[in-house]
Structures are given as C-alpha cells and as structure tokens.
Amino acid sequence: MAIWNLGSINVDHVYRVPHLPAPGETLAALSYATGLGGKGANQSVAAARAGARVCHIGAVGAEGGWALRKLGALGVDLAHVAEVAPATGHAIINVDPLAENAIVIYAGANVALTEGQMIGAMALSAETDTVLLQNETNLQVETAREARARGLRVIYSAAPFSIAAVQAVLSLVSLLVMNEGEASALVAALGQPLDALPVAGVIVTKGSRGAEWISAGTETLLQPSFAVTPVDTTGAGDCFIGSLAAALDRGDGRAAAMRYAAAAAALQVTRPGAADAMPTRAEVEAFLATQP
C-alpha cells in the first residue's frame, strides 16, 4: 500500500508578530524564520512520519533543492517531483502570541505540473493505494479521475477553498475534508446537507473542538481534540489529514484513524513550524498511551 500525494511544496516565511496585522497596518515582526511547508509537503511528511510509504507528485524551481533534501530526509519518495522554470512556491505566514496565523501563498512551481508527470506516477499505483489532493496545485480533477479509474481511494482537502474547485472534483472524491467555515459555505452553495453529498465520507475539522466524520446512513463520528498548549497552529490541519491517511492506509477503522490524527495534530501544534513539526508514529502512540 502507498499514498500518492499530488501536492504543493512551499518555502514558508514565518513572522512572529504581536498581533495579526489589521488592514493598512505596518507591523514590526518579533522574529523571522524559514522552513518547509505547503499543504502537499506538510501532508506528505505527516503521512511518512506516521509510517506510510508516501510518493509525492509535485514541482519546485531551480532554487528548490533544499526543500527536496528536507522532504527526502523526512522519508518522502521524490521520484515524481520535477524541476520547472517557475520559482518554488512560497508562503508568508504571520503567527500571533496565541498561535493563530494568517497566510498568503504564491503558487509558482506548484501549478506547473504536467499531466504526463501525473499519469506516469499513477501507472505505478495499486488498487489498495490512496491519493491525496489539495487546492494548491493544478491537475486535481485529472488526477482524481485517473485515480478513481484505477480503483484508488481519493482524499481531497478543499483548501484553499473554492466552490468551483470542489464542484469540479466532488463526484470523484472518496473522502472530502473541510473546516467548519468551508463546510458551511459548501452547504449554502449546493443547497444540500453534508451527508447528502456524493462522497463516501466528509470530515469537518473544528480546531480546538476536534473533528467529525459524516457518512450517509451512519452515525456521525465525533473526535474531540486533545488538550495541549499551542505554540504554532500552522499546518495542524495538514498534519491531521496526512496522519489520518496513513492510519487508514495501514488498515485502521475510522474511529482509530480519527483518534490517531487528532493526537498527531495535538503534538504538532506544540512545536514551531509546519512540516518540520510533524510527529513520528512512536511519538503519537506514546502520547496516546497517556490519554484516557
């Protein structure tokens, strides 16, 4: 079994600020750091650290070698990552003292993936595999269609959120993941409840209030969050999704997978950074052993 992630690879520029900037405000940062990020890279690292075999499909610019070295060192297979002309994607991340963040991203190389690159990767997949998708690259619909034709599970993170993007891929998705605001916007736009969507399951993440898994004809599964003191919430949702995918990939049921993912995200937010903060399976299991 393997996880194939068509995902973004970003350079994160992280600014610690006294508060998130207001419109028109110029604000002096308290500190600055760079690191590996992007929803795709974050999810790949989270899944790999959870013990899954992860093959990333993506792209970087000529200056992105350090990001690939980092991804490789964290256990991600990079055979299907290309070097392209546009610069490596990047994110400007402001983090306040309460660990809340505001993020602006530049797509760059992340939207220069080719269909041939994707199909070449999918040709090596198996029916027991999983595909992860987010909205920070091109080729979401094409990849979902190819994956479903091959019998793979498709987990789609509808972020950054776009109604049009969700509608384009929805019929091809196995598991749709959104936060509360995104879920409310989708329900309003489509005029139907989440349990009526044409997917096997919908996961709604609720930050410090946990997450829920909604499936038609099945009781909604509620997973509370674990009480921790956050340092940086950047990448917490990606940690949850990558960890969940890894748990499902190894055969965990939905309750066990949700609990594992919630614990991984709880540990991740106690550390600064995004991809660099993803916990290992051993760390998550040790943490879970201390919980009721």
The residues with which 32 forms a beta bridge, in sequence order, are 15
- 64 and 83 Cβ atoms separated by less than 8 Å: yes
What pTM was computed for the model? Answer: 0.93
Residue 207 to residue 243: CA distance in whole angstroms: 15
Residue with tokens 């991203």: 105
pLDDT at residue 227 in the model? 95
Amino acid occupying residue 269: V
Rg (CA), the chain: 18
Half-sphere exposure for 173 (CA within 13 Å, toward CB): 25
Residue type, 128: T
Domains of the chain and CATH, by start: 3-288 (3.40.1190.20)
Can you give the pLDDT at residue 279?
98
- In this prediction, residue 217 carries a pLDDT of 85
**Active site (annotated) includes residue 195:** no
| Predicted pLDDT of residue 20 | 96
Sequential pLDDT tens for the chain (292 residues): 999 999 999 999 999 999 999 999 999 999 999 999 999 999 999 999 999 999 999 999 999 999 999 999 999 999 999 999 999 999 999 999 998 899 999 999 999 999 999 999 999 999 999 999 999 999 999 999 999 999 999 999 999 999 999 999 999 999 999 999 999 999 999 999 999 999 999 999 998 899 999 998 899 999 999 999 999 998 999 999 999 999 999 999 999 999 999 999 999 999 998 899 999 999 999 999 999 8
Q: How many CA atoms lie within 13 A of 68 on its CB side?
A: 17
Residues whose CB is less than 8 angstroms from the CB of residue 106 and which lie 6 or more positions away in sequence, other chains included: 89, 90, 91
CA dihedral sign of residues 185, 186, 187, 188 = positive
- Among 19, 50, 49, residue whose Cα is nearest residue 36: 49
The answer to whether the beta carbons of residues 167 and 187 sit under 8 Å apart is no
Secondary structure element (H or E) that encloses residue 116, with its range = helix 115-122
Of the candidates 232, 238, 249, 276, the residue annotated as catalytic is: 238
The DSSP string of 61-115 is -TT-HHHHHHHHHTT-EEEEEEE-SSPPEEEEEEE-TTS-EEEEEE-GGGG---H
